[in-house]
Structure 1
Amino acid sequence: MTTRKGIILAGGSGTRLHPITEGVSKQLLPIYDKPMIYYPLTVLMLAGIREIAVITTPHDQDQFRRALGDGARWGVALDYIVQEKPEGLAQAYVLADGFLGGAPSAMVLGDNIFFGHGLPELMAGAPEAGGTVFGYHVADPERYGVVDFAPDGTVQSIVEKPARAPSNYAVTGLYFLDGTAPERARDVTPSERGELEITTLLETYLADGSLRVEKMGRGYAWLDTGTHTSLLDAGNFVRTLQQRQGLQAGCPEEVAYQQGWIDADAVAAMADRYGKTEYGTYLGKLLDPTR
C-alpha cells in the first residue's frame, strides 16, 4: 500500500464560470451524471491513496461535506482544509503541511478529468522521492505550462504559457511530490500576480535533478473544465464514453470495490440509495450483471 497521501485542490471562486458558480462551487457542478469532484477523487483512489485532504473555500466547505462526507462509504478518509484566499497552486502544500506530516503526496486539481486504461500503472511508476508530473500532448500549448525537452529527452525547463512553445506537451493538473514539497513551497517567491506558482515549485525539483515528466500517450484523455465550453465538452465526453461502453468513468464505489476497500453489502446499499437511476442500476450490476 502506498504511503502517499492525497490532496484535491477545490478552492477558488470559479469566476470564469459565472453566473453558474455564484451559488455552488465549480468542483460540485455536474459532469454528466456525477459531481465534478468525483473524477479527481477516483484518480487518487486508483493510485491506492486512502487518506485525502480536500482544500476548499470557507463558504463552500459545507457543500463538500454534504456531498462527500468523511469518505467512509468509499473506504477512504477525507479531511477538509480551508483556503481563505487562493494564492497559487503551490499554496496547497503549505496549507496541507500538517495533514501530510512529511509524507509524499499526490495532488490533483479539482477541475481536471483524467481517463485511460493504464492510468493506475502510470501513476504507480512515480517514485516517492523527488517529483513526477505528467505531460499531455495538446494542440494549443501556449495556454499551459509546457515542458521543454532536451534532444536526449530529459527535461530542461517548464515554461508557463509561452508565446512560442518549445513542445506540445502541457503539464497536467496531477503532481506527485515527495515530503519536502511544503518546505519548498514556503520558499517560493510569489509571482507578479502575487501567487505561489506551481511551475516555480516544480523548478526547484528540476534544479535538484529530481523532476520526472511522464508522457501520457494517445490512450489517455485529460480535460479541464475551467470554461463553459470545456465544461460542456467534458460532460459530452463522459456521456459518449459511458453510453458507448456501458462502463462508468469516475465512479468511487466501483474503484473502492475493486480495491477491496468496501464489500458487496456496501455497494448494494449504495445501489439502493440511488434507486432506479442509471448510476444506481450500474452499481447493482457490479454485483449481479443480470440485473
Structure 2
Amino acid sequence: MKGIILAGGHGTRLHPITLGGSKQLLPIYDKPMVYYPLSVLMLAGVREVLIISAPADLPQFRRLLGDGRRLGMRFSYAEQPEPRGLAEAFLIGAEHIGSDPVALALGDNVFHGPGFSELLRSRLPHTEGCLLFGYPVPDPQRYGIGEVDDAGRLLSIEEKPDRPKSNRAITGLYFYDNEVVEIARGLRPSERGELEITDVNREYLARGRASLVDLGRGFAWLDTGTHDSLLEAAQYIRTIEHRQGVRIACVEEVALRMGYIDAEQCRRLGAALGASGYGRYVMEVAEAVRAAGPAAPPGLTGAGTGTGRRGIVPAPG
C-alpha cells in the first residue's frame, strides 16, 4: 500500500501564523504537525509516502523529512499549486500510487487511542473498496456524516446535514483500493470548484464497496485547523505525554518498533537531535530496546508509542 499526506492549502483560518509557511509544519506541542499523520501511515505498515504541498512549502518539508531512509521509509514530494479539493491528491499522486491501494491522511488531523495500530493492521488486509473512520461528535451538522448498518457497511453519506442520520463524523483518514484513481479522474468539480472526497466516497457507496469503522469511546480525534483547536491539541498531547511518560507520534520510535530501523540507528537519530527532551527520549527508547534484546515485543498499543501504553496517531485532525 502507498501513502499520501495532503499538506496543502493556505491555512487561512490560522492567519497570521501561517503567512510564513505551511500549517502542517507548525508544532503541536513538541513536534511538527506532519509527524502525526506520518506516524499513522507508518503504523499501518505503509513505507512509501508522497507528501503533497504548495510549491513554496515543499523545500521545508524536504529539509524536515528528507528522503525517508533514516526512518527506513521512502518519501517523495509533489506540488499542489492551489487547493482544488482533497480528491485531487489521487490525480497528483497517480504515478506514485501505480497499481497499489492507497492511504490518504490529512496533514492536520490527530488520532489518539489504545490499540489503534492493531486496528489498522487487522482491518487493512481485509479491506475492499474504501475504508473510512467515523468518530462521534456532538454537533454532526458541521461535518460529513456517515450512516452504517450493524455490519459496518456504509449506508449513506451526508455533508453537513440539517437532520443528520447519525453522529459519526468522517475523519481525515481514508483507505482505498486502486480504483480510486479512476474514480477521481471521472469527478467533476463541485460548485466551489473542487474535487470532493465525499464524491469519491459516494461512488464507492454506490458500488456497495464502502465501510466505516466507528472509533467510538476511548479515542480522541483532533482537528487542528483553528487557533483554539491548535492550542487544545498541544495541551492534550502535553497532558498525555507527561502523565504516561511517552512521546506521541514519535516517528523514530515507531520506525524502531515496526522494525524499519534497529536500535543503533534509532539511538543515532536521537543523538542528532541535540539536547532536546525529544532527542533524549529517542535515545532512551533505543537503549531500552537494545537492553531487552531481539526478542523484545513491539509494544505498540496505540499510535506512536512503544511502551505498551496509549499513544497517538494522527488525523487528520
TM-score with structure 2 setting the length: 0.88
Q: Distance in 2 between matches of 1:73 and 1:43?
A: 18
For 1:70, the equivalent position in structure 2 comes to: 67
The question of whether the paired residues in 1 share the 8 Å contact of 2:263 and 2:287 is answered with no
The question of whether the paired residues in 2 share the 8 Å contact of 1:102 and 1:180 is answered with no
Aligned partner letter, 2:136: H
Residue 11, structure 1, aligned to residue 8, structure 2: yes
* Secondary structure at 1:268 match in 2: helix
Higher relative contact order (CA 8 A, sep 6+): 2
Q: Distance in 2 between matches of 1:15 and 1:37?
A: 18
Residue 54, structure 1, aligned to residue 48, structure 2: no
* Secondary structure at 1:129 match in 2: coil
For 1:164, the equivalent position in structure 2 comes to: 163
For 1:28, the equivalent position in structure 2 comes to: 25
Residue of 99, 108, 113 corresponding to 2:105: 108
Structure 2 unmatched ranges of 5 or more: 290-317
Residue 88, structure 1, aligned to residue 85, structure 2: yes
* Secondary structure at 2:272 match in 1: helix
For 2:296, the equivalent position in structure 1 comes to: none
Give RMSD over aligned pairs.
1.6
Q: CA deviation at 1:88?
A: 0.6
Work out the percentage of aligned pairs sharing the same amino acid: 52
Paired positions, count: 288
Aligned partner letter, 1:224: D
Q: Distance in 2 between matches of 1:231 and 1:287?
A: 30
Q: Distance in 1 between matches of 2:286 and 2:181?
A: 42
Q: Distance in 1 between matches of 2:148 and 2:33?
A: 32
C-alpha change, 1:165 and 1:121, in structure 2 (3 Å) is same
* Secondary structure at 2:187 match in 1: coil
* Secondary structure at 2:82 match in 1: coil
Aligned partner letter, 2:135: Y
For 2:119, the equivalent position in structure 1 comes to: 122
TM-score with structure 1 setting the length: 0.95
Give a deviation string over 1:117-174, Cα, whole Å, max 9, x none: 2112222203343110000011111111001235876422110111222111000000
Moved more, 184-193 or 118-127: 118-127
Structure 1 unmatched ranges of 5 or more: none
Aligned partner letter, 1:62: P
The question of whether the paired residues in 2 share the 8 Å contact of 1:104 and 1:128 is answered with no
* Secondary structure at 2:119 match in 1: helix
